[in-house]
Amino acid sequence: MYNKTILHTAAALLLLVATAPAMAQKKVEVKNMNFLSSNHCIYRISKPSNYLLLPVQEKAEMCNVKVVDNNNQVKSLNVRLAVNHIDYYVPLALKPYSGSKGLALDIHVNGTYRNDGDLPGFTCWKNMQLADSFDTTNREQYRPIYHHTPTWGWMNDPNGMFYKDGVWHLFFQHNPYGSQWENMTWGHSTSTDLVNWTFEGDPIEPDMWGTVFSGSAVVDHDGTAGFGKGAVVAMYTSAGENQTQSIAYSNDNGKTFTKYAANPVLTSNTPDFRDPHVFWNEDIKRWNMILAEGQHMNIYSSADLKDWKLESQFGAEYGNHGGVWECPDLMKMKVRGTDEYKWMLICNINPGGPFGGSATQYFVGQFDGHKFTCESAPEVTKWMDYGKDHYATVTFDNAPDGRHVAIAWMSNWQYANLVPTMQYRSANSVPRDLDLYEYEGQTYCGVTPSPELAAARPKKAVKTLSEACEMVVTLKGGATITLSNDKGEQVVLTYDEKSRTFAMDRTKSGLKDFSDEFAALTVAPVHGKLSQLRLFIDRCSIEVFASDGTMAMSNLVFPTKPYNRVTVKGKAKYVVYNLKK
């Protein structure tokens, strides 16, 4: 079963969502409201159930909601409460306050509605609903089958990924109160095979220091931080008035976290100061951290994950600087076919990508635990993926067998808030194993679909395209492969052997009017000759890899009907592995 939504714990059950509640729900009367001004009201809950379902309208103004329990503020969130139309519901968990007799929501409405004088007429008040339980059945035609997605709500960067005791842990930037960016929290999903994912709840939530931006998590095998041997230690950006770095630890493999009492552990007066990526450096027997600061990276060291020393900076004159540098990673890898080891520094950038918006660049060189030295000329830019929808790429800590397994956010900031889904927004890429290879005097990053994807194939290949499949194409020279449907929508894939390029044209792929930036032709250089391609098609995305890992391209598509025809021009043959449930 792919993309599981069965939850393991009672805590996780408190955080589900549905367009319409399914069981034991009671409408709350408007008499529970106190309207104080044209943009301020109090909503009282006298007999709380497990959840209060909040009606959302995505085009409404933002509401700032404070949860007040016995006169104390216990939670705050931002949500677009419905004015005259309900797009969907999101849940506010009430069980932690079920014994309270003084539970209320203090609500401020932002924007122009404060001048309209019609706050009592908002449709949300009569449609807020108390519920003991509700359904999470998928309502979206574009929700992927074998890619990770949030069960509901918005998702962007993957965070805090680690492997422990046979389980892959994926944390992610999550908005539990809507399908657009807001309320940054760490959601948590787990998998034993990198294909089937189970949502585990939101274990790291905003606090006094701010919302919870991106970061990393490590398995502290020796207990260097003092939280116990084998503790999982997360380091993340607290995004308040300024961006600072905080830590939290878990002794139950990431199900729950305790925030360090002396947070934040690292501060700066720089506005863009975020996304710490921590790793144990066996060469120096210390922790290293790489962190994005504006348009360069800071490199730190520590013995205990609490006290950090700034060792050096990298990037002021290297690579692409078309946007802010974010979500770094740094790792040591062997070069294929040699006994040589080099280091690769990942730098995600937005904007500045090769086809507009977000993208992932990288640098190869040497690192001595203190300073990273890039082997390429400063003006050289190397892209990890040549599609428009590959960003915030980072790797799992503690991966088995020395692997470097990466996952990206499969979207682009140019249109991420606008894509045609509402129950959820955004998926992660398929997992990719990274390595290094040499070509024409340069060292490049190899990007290969993780072997768990091949293990998910059925025994028998077919020739029929499906909405969720892997397509393997064998090439003997240049070729054009067109994927199309009965509506005339198509994606055209072209390998030009003479110019040594591979291109994907999604200008006629389906829905695209939600953004002027979506229709695109993306082109990748080909290192050597392409002999085999692997295409991963999953309802709203197409990811293409050279089988030897020398080329990768990830693009979203939104066909109104699944592509069901394959047209080949040139010397190419293909088979299809159906990856549906």
339 labelled catalytic: no
In sequence order, the β-bridge partners of residue 231 are: 220
165: left (phi over 0), alpha (psi -120 to 50) or beta: left
In sequence order, the β-bridge partners of residue 109 are: 63
Phi, psi at 95, each rounded to 5° = -55, -35
Which DSSP state fits 403? -
Helix (H, G, I), strand (E, B) or coil at 163: strand
| Burial group, residue 321, by CB count within 10 angstroms (0-12, 13-18, 19+) | middle
* Inter-residue contact 361 to 528 (CB < 8 Å): no
The Cα–Cα gap between 306 and 263 comes to 9
Helix (H) or strand (E) holding 182: none
The Cα–Cα gap between 286 and 280 comes to 6
Structure tokens at 289: 């951290």
* Inter-residue contact 409 to 392 (CB < 8 Å): yes
The Cα–Cα gap between 467 and 360 comes to 27
Kindly write down the DSSP assignment for every residue of 61-100, as one continuous string.
PPEEEEEEETTEEEEEEEE-B-SS---EEEEEE-GGGTT-
**Is residue 264 reached through a cis peptide bond, with omega within 30 degrees of 0 on the bond before it?**
yes
* Inter-residue contact 238 to 205 (CB < 8 Å): no
**Is residue 203 reached through a cis peptide bond, with omega within 30 degrees of 0 on the bond before it?**
no
List of residues 6+ apart from 124 with CB closer than 8 A: 54, 55, 57, 81, 82, 83, 86
First to last CA, the chain: 5
* Inter-residue contact 243 to 183 (CB < 8 Å): no
The catalytic position among 106, 116, 135, 157 is 157
Phi, psi at 30, each rounded to 5° = -65, -20
Structure tokens at 79: 């949500």
Listed residue (333, 321, 404, 395) closest to 359, CA to CA:
321
The Cα–Cα gap between 51 and 90 comes to 10
432: left (phi over 0), alpha (psi -120 to 50) or beta: beta
List of residues 6+ apart from 29 with CB closer than 8 A: 126
Kindly write down the DSSP assignment for every residue of 193-237, as one continuous string.
SSSS-EEEEEEE--BTTBEEEEEEEEEETT-TTSS-TTEEEEEEE
| Active site residue ranges | 157
